[in-house]
A and B are shown apart, each in its own frame.
Chain A
């Protein structure tokens, strides 16, 4: 099956700085890579996704990049705000979804 690793497990940044979270996957057949944001007491919410035929996708302050050769993908958040503080999960789809272990992001005002 697929194995997804996510780093770092915790990340603190100053408001306005950028945050980068990285994930690697093991099976080159995985073809869809969503990112989720989970706030306390809530379910994960999809924030951005990328398909294997695309190298980069951007939505306002959030971007995701995919390197199929190296089998890794990254989430980039620019101009961070305190409301970006949450736990972020990456996932890879191979028949079913395989999730990373999460990154707890804290944005310091």
Chain B
């Protein structure tokens, strides 16, 4: 079956531009997570959506970062006025939910490079 799909796979943009990253979770998965992974580093939590509840935005590093999830499915992560330190791989994961310790399934990420 289809896994988590992220687009674009690579994005190169100039400093100061806005970027939008897209995540299509596995069908039926109610929980969706965004992480950032810098080169050779671990996963930094950004934001988490669960069903219709208010998202947990506690990991967003600045107000330049925002995310939305439309219709409980597709999610977009938006970075405004990009900076060079935003260069990283942005990973999306989804799971069936949170109450029963369901595993996360990851996409292959969007590799973002800010020139």
**A residues lining the B interface (CB < 8 Å):** 31-32, 34, 36, 41-46, 49, 51, 89, 93, 95-102
Q: How far is the CB of B33 from chain A (nearest CB, A)?
A: 7
Contact in complex: A51, B101 (CB < 8 Å): yes
Majority DSSP secondary structure for residues of B touching A: loop
B11-19, B66-74, B75-83, B103-111 - interface stretch? B103-111
Contact in complex: A46, B103 (CB < 8 Å): yes
Contact in complex: B108, A89 (CB < 8 Å): no
Number of cross-chain contacts by CB at 8 Å: 43
B26 proximal to A (CB < 8 A): no
B52 proximal to A (CB < 8 A): no
Majority DSSP secondary structure for residues of A touching B: strand
Q: Beyond the given A31-B101, A32-B101, A96-B45, could you list 4 further A-B residue pairs with CB under 8 A, ordered by the A residue number? A: A41-B108, A44-B43, A46-B105, A96-B33
Contact in complex: A34, B104 (CB < 8 Å): yes
Q: Which residues from chain B contact A36 at a C-beta distance below 8 Å?
A: 106
